[in-house]
A and B are shown apart, each in its own frame.
Chain A
Amino acid sequence: MPDVEELDPEVGEDTDAELEAAERDLAEATSALSSSRQTKLLLYAIGAVAVIAVLAVWQDLLTVIAVGITPGAIYAMIGLGLALIYKASKVFNFAQGEFGTVPIFVSWLILSAGAEDATGAVRDAGVGRLIIATLIALAAGVLLAMATYVLVVRRLQARGAVTTLVGTAGVALLVVQTEIIIGEASVRNFRKFVNGSPCFGSEVINDVEVCTSPLTIGAAVIEWQTLITLGVLVVTALGLAAFFRTQLGTALLATSQEPFAASLYGISTNTMNLVTWAAAGLLGAIGGLLAAGFTDTFTPGAITSAWLIGAFAGSILGGITSMPGAVVGGLLLGVIQSASNTWLPSSWPGRPQIGVFGVLLIVLLLRPRGLLGKEA
């Protein structure tokens, strides 16, 4: 038998090379397997830590969610109006806050009309009067929104988005000043439909019945107002979802996507825009009344100053073009604020802002359209 190397030395070299390659592949495969195992182990470890952490802070987590859910729902309600208008008109509406504040003022004015002691009159108003005041207040929000569209937005829209945006900001400032002139810039108590919380046990202390077992989630007492707010949000979200399945809703979507094509089909873009603004006004009014019920107080420009930025942030977080996104973003925002207040060090100035805008930044970097954003 001849020596292999002697017969064909190249064959031996190839074999060596193949062997080396095979060894390398084996090493790489082993390494990959090991790495994969390590990765899995790491993931398991992270998962375990996360589970333990959640269990450890379960009560705190429940509390955080319970505290954040009501303001979140209000952000969502106001954000729905913002998203609706943006979806239909591509306008960032800075007057949306005032679509909420004006109804609060209207409600207060109706309840206190003719009374010497306005605070007492509002506090003691009957349910019937409260319902009437609320309905008129909602109508006021709708009318203000329609007026904003007809008198300002429609005239400025052709001049560009920035001009329109500034126009809506101008409306907000003008309305706030009017509120100050009419109502003076002081903090007033707001009358809501139901005070307190669902109660499972009470005691009479000093001749006063005191609820000793209110409904709680975690350590947070859940008020009737929270349940009402969440209920209204659910109904509104479902109502909007149903609305966009109707002929009118479809026409509205068509108008927002292709106004020219829609007009060729006989759809009046003007009417559609007016309907959109009216709906946004209604959403703003509902959000405003819920917000005032949540804080129990209001001042001129209350919704613009306290809620509008949060609603904008929430709707951008969820996706400014998405109605479900506005709801998700708003709720998430409320919970992030609550979590930041609970868990970030109290020495950090602006904890809620750090939390909210940190998350917003990350989401926008990873998904610029927001969590649920897409074209209409």
Chain B
Amino acid sequence: MNHATHRPTTGRALRAASLAMALSFVLAACGQKPGVHVEGGGGQFAGGGAVVTDPGTTGGTGTVDTGTVDTGAGTTTDTGTGTTTDTGAGTTTDTGTTGGSTGESTGGSTGGSTGGSTGESTGGSTGGSTGGSTGGSTGGSTGGSTGGSTGGSTGGTATPPGSDRTGAAADKLILGVHAPVTGAAPLPSRAFEQADAYWKYQIEQKGRTILGRSEVEVVFKDDKYTPSSAVQACREMTQGSQAFLLIGGGGTDQIQACGQFANQNKIPYLSAGVTEVGLNIPYYFAVSMTYAQQGPLLASLVKKRFPQGKVAAIVTQTPNFDDAVAAWESAVAQQGINYYKTLRHPKGDNSWYQTFAIELQQNQVDVVYILTAPVDYINFAKRGQAQGYNPQFVGVGVSMGLNTVATATCPAGAGALFFSPAPGLDRAGEFGPDWKASGRNDDIELLLWSIMRGIDESFTAYGKVYGNDLTREGYRQVLEQSTIPQGLTPEIRYSPNNHFGGTAMHLLKADCSGQGKYVTDTTFAKGF
């Protein structure tokens, strides 16, 4: 009887338990804190309508000098609208007028006007005309030596490849940013709500336009620290909000997932360097050194600063860190570092802190390279300290170097050294005058600012080749042949075969004297 009455109840309990566990896993998969899409509502602002003035520094090469008899009187009143007001009325050899008119017809106003005027003043007017008609290189080759080159450089622009102009309307650019602000390893959302700060400053404060546009909207979505949510966020930003390109704000697995989604859909995708696994693809670009690239740099740092130290690593168990681990272990062996071993812990698990601390303590490990979510680093450092284990922490990446991490880790993480794409707030003003002038003082905003500056540089490079007609295919093509000059971030050199273009990193050190923050230890480090 008892048995009979128990069985159905047990069955119900089991079914309910199974359902409950299933829902647990769903919640866990969602980072347990599914919820708000922190939409980057901001980012819509009007610009000052400034004219982009092409300085013409990368123009044609002027290899054939035929413009020695330039008397062209092209007075150049071309107003940049291509309406053939270029009056380059040269003599028979001066074809400044042609420069103007051809510039109008194909290259646009800038080609015509500058071609004409420069042809007039210094070189052959042919430079102007041909420059206008066919673009920089041709202008140079057939123009006068000076006129040709200058005319060519500022001459008309080629038609960009492709036709995908999503998010690049005539008056507005839309960019998408994703990062975890909920989930297992959240970042503060307020900084991402200010993701448009760079563009706002450039347009409103400096009076610029960006590829002829006076508005840049930045859309932000929370990826909840899970790859599936990240892909969904990226899909929403590109299909719903119509973002022209996507930017990964943090989280290796999410960046990889979104990067691959973007590549499948031929959407340019940029992020701070993380893994290289699965991201050696046409539309992905790392704006700083990847973890694998930073491995040898970190090993040389450890060797230099802690030559007698016994070293170990704690790395989250994800295939996306395998390249980082391989590069690090190889570099450690090359440097002859006294190495204990690499400990891997499951992603999302929080039961390993004290066990690992005890193991490392018993094996007298002095230096720990930690490549985990920041929350795991914080908890491990604190559990270690409670255990009486206070190693020197070192690491790569982006999010470990955020002040919120230092605040939460101190004093256990005092003196921790982490690489970062941007310098600390203490020295950011030295390398980013615009940043300094903006009066901002948040490190996540600084990182976003530095990424946006790189994108701005790439837009400028694009403009020189294809003008303001922005296509995703053309942007990708230009970007993979670009070098982003050093500013807040170290120089980035891309090539068609290498989209992991980082060349150096800044080194930050945890200062626990106050409430805890990072200060700049070394800038633009390429080796130690």
Binding site for B on A (CB under 8 A): 63, 67-68, 71, 90, 92, 94, 97, 117, 119-120, 161-162, 165, 169, 172-173, 176-177, 180-181, 184-189, 196-197, 211, 214, 219-221, 223, 295-297, 299-301, 304-306, 308-309, 312-313, 316, 320-321, 334, 337-338, 340-342, 346-347, 349-353, 364, 368-369, 373, 375
10 contacts between A and B (CB under 8 A): A173-B35, A187-B405, A189-B408, A219-B361, A221-B387, A350-B317, A350-B346, A352-B346, A352-B351, A375-B9
Contact indicator B375/A297 (Cβ below 8 Å):
yes
Interface centre among B19, B32, B383, B404 (most CB of A within 10 A): B32
Q: Which 7 A-B pairs give the minimum distances between C-beta atoms?
A: A305-B32, A185-B186, A301-B33, A92-B20, A337-B351, A341-B355, A177-B35
Known: A296-B382, A309-B28, A369-B13. A180 touches B182 (CB 8 A): yes
Contact indicator B10/A197 (Cβ below 8 Å):
no
Known: A305-B32, A349-B346. A375 touches B352 (CB 8 A): no
A299 interface neighbour in B14, B186, B388, Cβ under 8 Å: B186
Q: Tell me how far the C-beta of A145 lies from the nearest C-beta in chain B, rounded to whole angstroms.
A: 18
Whether a CB of chain A sits under 8 angstroms from the CB of B163 is no
A341 interface neighbour in B181, B352, B375, B382, Cβ under 8 Å: B352
Q: Tell me how far the C-beta of A294 lies from the nearest C-beta in chain B, rounded to whole angstroms.
A: 9
Query: How many angstroms between the C-alpha atoms of A334 and B361 in the bound complex?
Result: 21
B34: A residues at CB distance < 8 A: 173, 176
Contact indicator B31/A220 (Cβ below 8 Å):
no
Contact indicator A180/B346 (Cβ below 8 Å):
no
Known: A180-B189, A304-B27, A347-B344. A185 touches B181 (CB 8 A): yes
Whether a CB of chain A sits under 8 angstroms from the CB of B526 is no
Whether a CB of chain A sits under 8 angstroms from the CB of B21 is yes
Q: Tell me how far the C-beta of B39 lies from the nearest C-beta in chain A, rounded to whole angstroms.
A: 13
A337: B residues at CB distance < 8 A: 351
Contact indicator B355/A342 (Cβ below 8 Å):
yes
Query: How many angstroms between the C-alpha atoms of A133 and B362 in the bound complex?
Result: 39
Whether a CB of chain A sits under 8 angstroms from the CB of B326 is no
B24 interface neighbour in A211, A309, A369, Cβ under 8 Å: A309
A67: B residues at CB distance < 8 A: 354-355, 358
B6: A residues at CB distance < 8 A: 369, 375
A219: B residues at CB distance < 8 A: 358, 361-362
Known: A165-B19, A180-B181. A308 touches B13 (CB 8 A): no
Contact indicator B32/A312 (Cβ below 8 Å):
no
B386: A residues at CB distance < 8 A: 196-197, 221, 223
Contact indicator B33/A176 (Cβ below 8 Å):
yes
Contact indicator A185/B515 (Cβ below 8 Å):
no
A120: B residues at CB distance < 8 A: 515
A196: B residues at CB distance < 8 A: 386
A185-B182, A316-B21, A349-B317 are known contacts; what are 9 more A-B pairs with Cβ within 8 Å? A63-B358, A67-B358, A90-B16, A165-B20, A165-B23, A300-B182, A313-B21, A316-B17, A369-B10
B387: A residues at CB distance < 8 A: 220-221
Query: How many angstroms between the C-alpha atoms of A91 and B35 in the bound complex?
Result: 23
Query: How many angstroms between the C-alpha atoms of A176 and B27 in the bound complex?
Result: 12
Among B1-47, those with CB < 8 Å from A are 5-6, 9-10, 12-14, 16-17, 19-21, 23-25, 27-28, 31-36
Whether a CB of chain A sits under 8 angstroms from the CB of B379 is yes
Query: How many angstroms between the C-alpha atoms of A203 and B327 in the bound complex?
Result: 42
Among B166-224, those with CB < 8 Å from A are 181-184, 186-190
Q: Tell me how far the C-beta of B384 lies from the nearest C-beta in chain A, rounded to whole angstroms.
A: 10
Among B315-363, those with CB < 8 Å from A are 317, 343-344, 346, 349-352, 354-356, 358, 361-362
CB-nearest residue of chain B to A93: B20
CB-nearest residue of chain B to A119: B515
Among B219-240, those with CB < 8 Å from A are none
Known: A169-B27, A187-B405, A346-B343. A338 touches B10 (CB 8 A): no
Query: How many angstroms between the C-alpha atoms of A243 and B54 in the bound complex?
Result: 82
Query: How many angstroms between the C-alpha atoms of A155 and B34 in the bound complex?
Result: 24
Contact indicator A349/B344 (Cβ below 8 Å):
yes
Contact indicator A304/B19 (Cβ below 8 Å):
no
Contact indicator A351/B350 (Cβ below 8 Å):
no
B351: A residues at CB distance < 8 A: 68, 71, 334, 337-338, 340-341, 352
Contact indicator A180/B27 (Cβ below 8 Å):
no
Contact indicator A187/B375 (Cβ below 8 Å):
yes
CB-nearest residue of chain A to B14: A368
CB-nearest residue of chain A to B375: A187
Contact indicator A180/B378 (Cβ below 8 Å):
no
Contact indicator A297/B27 (Cβ below 8 Å):
no
Query: How many angstroms between the C-alpha atoms of A219 and B364 in the bound complex?
Result: 13
B32 interface neighbour in A211, A214, A301, Cβ under 8 Å: A301
CB-nearest residue of chain A to B387: A221
Query: How many angstroms between the C-alpha atoms of A373 and B16 in the bound complex?
Result: 15
Contact indicator A180/B349 (Cβ below 8 Å):
no
Query: How many angstroms between the C-alpha atoms of A304 and B30 in the bound complex?
Result: 12
Query: How many angstroms between the C-alpha atoms of A50 and B187 in the bound complex?
Result: 48
Query: How many angstroms between the C-alpha atoms of A117 and B514 in the bound complex?
Result: 11
Query: How many angstroms between the C-alpha atoms of A296 and B344 in the bound complex?
Result: 23
A63: B residues at CB distance < 8 A: 358
Query: How many angstroms between the C-alpha atoms of A184 and B23 in the bound complex?
Result: 25
Contact indicator B375/A299 (Cβ below 8 Å):
yes
Q: Tell me how far the C-beta of A272 lies from the nearest C-beta in chain B, rounded to whole angstroms.
A: 20
Known: A350-B346, A368-B10. A187 touches B378 (CB 8 A): yes
B404: A residues at CB distance < 8 A: 186-187
CB-nearest residue of chain A to B32: A305
